[in-house]
Amino acid sequence: MAGHSPPIIHFDHATFGFPGVVALEDISLEIQSGEFVGVIGPNGSGKTTLCRAVLGLMAPLKGHLRIFDCACDELRCHHRAKIGYLPQKGVVDRNFPVTVLETVMMGRYGALGLFTRPSGKDRKIALDALAHVGMEGHRDNALGRLSGGQQQRVFIARALAQQPQVLLLDEPTTGLDITTQHNVVELVQHLHKELGLTVLLITHDINMIRSRVDRLVLLKTRLYAAGPPADVLKPEILSQVYGKDLVITERDTITVEDYHHHH
Amino acid sequence: MLELFTYDFMQRSLLAAALVGALCSTIGVFVVLRGLAFVGAGTAHAAFAGVALGFLMGWPPLLMALLFGLGTVWITGWVEEKGRMKLDVSIGILYTATMALAILFIGLMKTYNAEVYGYLFGSVLAVTSEELRTIAGLSIVVIGSIVLFSKELYFIAFDQEMAEASGVPARRIFFLLLTLVALTVVVSLKTVGAILVFAMILIPASTAYQLTHSLSTLTWYSILIGVSCSVGGVLLSSIWDIPSGPAIVLLATLVFFVAVLLSPKRQRQSLAMN
């Protein structure tokens, strides 16, 4: 982790939402280049808002957010192309008539800009991205015919085809079986190490990522905690955020006990 | 039958039908994939209101059709972008309001005007050389724009937010798509008419959708189906002496149902169910 280099993403007392609705309030957070950061929090805690803000799709109502040292609502196309994004499952139509390679090639479009047609070089970048996620053998298959885990790999390859500096993943394991969940998170960890990517992974699954991330960010409209997993995953902090007693068991996994039942 | 091709009016009709078929089926790919089918229908009716106003006031009908069509798609796009209401609701309101205007304008005309109804039902066999030149010119503009921005149009059809997030100027491309839909409708008014143009946008792309999983193949299939059905429909209408618009659309509908029956996607689904 480059401790003293300028942060790649910098929230400075930033508040996000719509008139009358605050989704995230007074967030101050710096993410350094090359970090692997997990973002956790209950439903409605503002995780997806954070994601949209980093993508430059939402400007702060108050405060500032700078990405690549540029105000987030002034991100130019070439800035946006440096953030590879994996949307939540269900956001895109998985039966859209598109092949695996056509899907990954779309990752090149933002970086290429208008009026430039994809070249052989772009095709090679897309094929390399497919190889990185182990899907090179499926390039001519229909996206809709792949399993959920394979589709996630293709979407990660699309993000990689942008040749991004930041990989932003919004609940990438939702709806996948347990083995596939592990495989997807392992793939992300591998890409983080191999390509030196800054990774921002939004998830509900604390157990899945706690041993893999450099830092955890715990949200519930406000930023409750940010730091190494051991510092964030303290029962007193978690129960404040989740309204439950979360117990760290001997096997080092977190279980939830109903607050009322416990008392 | 071959002597049909020697008539000037027939050559013009076939060329106009081929152009409109190619145009509608190309833009149709993006309309179907982006879920804008109802926008096509609404725009066609709005454009007809423009035609009716043109005839009522003595203004150029196609220009008025263009203004009404553009007004409708831009308002619809703006409403969707602002998230004020769902796209099908806003277009539904504009669709009926513009149709009401069309009926009002026709009612205000002092005499019966058969030409107005030509724009409602289409009359490709009556296309003049001047109209053919307009159709050709606008076709070049629309198809040229689609070729120029094809990668962005495909991306926003797939996932507009994702496209915007990865650096594609998605909102501007969406408005370009809406504009091209309006232009296509106006170009096609004279040949297939306001009611049937919507079918020509929708059916070839939906037919191609049954046959392939690849975006590029889908586009080529759609164009092939659109041009074949348009030209085939004009020939059928001449041979059997039936109106050209319905002949084109019913032929396209027949091809659609055959494609559904033969669809590899459908066969795979039945295999999976067994």
Residue percentage of chain B with pLDDT more than 90: 58
Q: What percent of chain B has pLDDT over 70?
A: 96
Nearest to B101 by CA among B156, B32, B48: B48
Q: B121 versus A196: which is more confidently predicted?
A: A196
Whether A247 maps to a domain, the answer reads yes
Q: B210: which 2 tokens?
A: 């049954």
| Nearest Cα residue to A159 out of B216, B174, B167, B214 | B167
The reply to whether A41 falls in a domain is no
What is the 8-class DSSP label of residue A51? H
∠ CA A255-A50-A195, nearest 5°, is: 85
Contacts of B167 in chain A (CB under 8 A): 77-81, 109-111, 113, 162
A259 pLDDT more than 50:
no
pLDDT > 50? residue B4: yes
Would A243 be classed as within a structural domain? yes
Say if residue A256's pLDDT is above 60: no
Predicted pLDDT at B20: 93
Nearest-Cα distance to chain A for B116, in Å, is 39
Q: Is residue A51 part of a domain?
A: no
Domain assignment present for residue A244? The answer is yes
Neighbours of A128 (CB within 10 A): 15
CB-based contact (8 Å) between A107 and chain B? yes
Q: What is the ipTM of this complex?
A: 0.83
pLDDT at A94: 60
Q: Is residue A259 part of a domain?
A: yes
Parent domain of A248: 235-263
pLDDT digits over B164-222, tens only?
A: 888 899 999 999 999 999 999 988 888 888 888 988 999 999 999 999 989 999 999 99
Q: Is the Cβ–Cβ distance between A244 and A42 less than 8 Å?
A: no
The residues, any chain, with a CB within 8 Å of residue A179's CB and separated by 6 or more, are none
A213 within some domain: no
Higher pLDDT, A263 or A193: A193
pLDDT in tens, B42-78: 999 999 999 999 999 999 998 999 999 999 999 988 8
Whether A245 is in a domain gets the answer yes
Measured between beta carbons, which residues in chain A are less than 8 angstroms from residue B154?
A: 102, 106
H or E segment to which residue A79 belongs:
helix A77-80
Question: Average pLDDT of A46-75?
Answer: 88
Q: Is A56 on the interface with B (CB under 8 A)?
A: yes
pTM over 0.90: no
Residue A247 pairs in a beta bridge with A255
Q: Residue A186's pLDDT is what?
A: 92
Given an 8 Å threshold on Cβ–Cβ distance, is B168 in contact with A56? no
In chain A, the number of structural domains is 1
pLDDT, mean over chain A = 86
Task: State how far the alpha carbon of B28 is from the alpha carbons of A117, B153, B171, B178, B198, in Å.
Answer: 22, 12, 19, 11, 9
User: Of all helices (H) and strands (E), which one includes residue B207?
Assistant: helix B170-211
Residues B166, A83: C-beta atoms closer than 8 Å: yes
- Judging contacts by C-beta atoms under 8 Å, the chain B residues touching residue A99 are 213-215
Q: Which numeric CATH code is attached to B2-263?
A: 1.10.3470.10
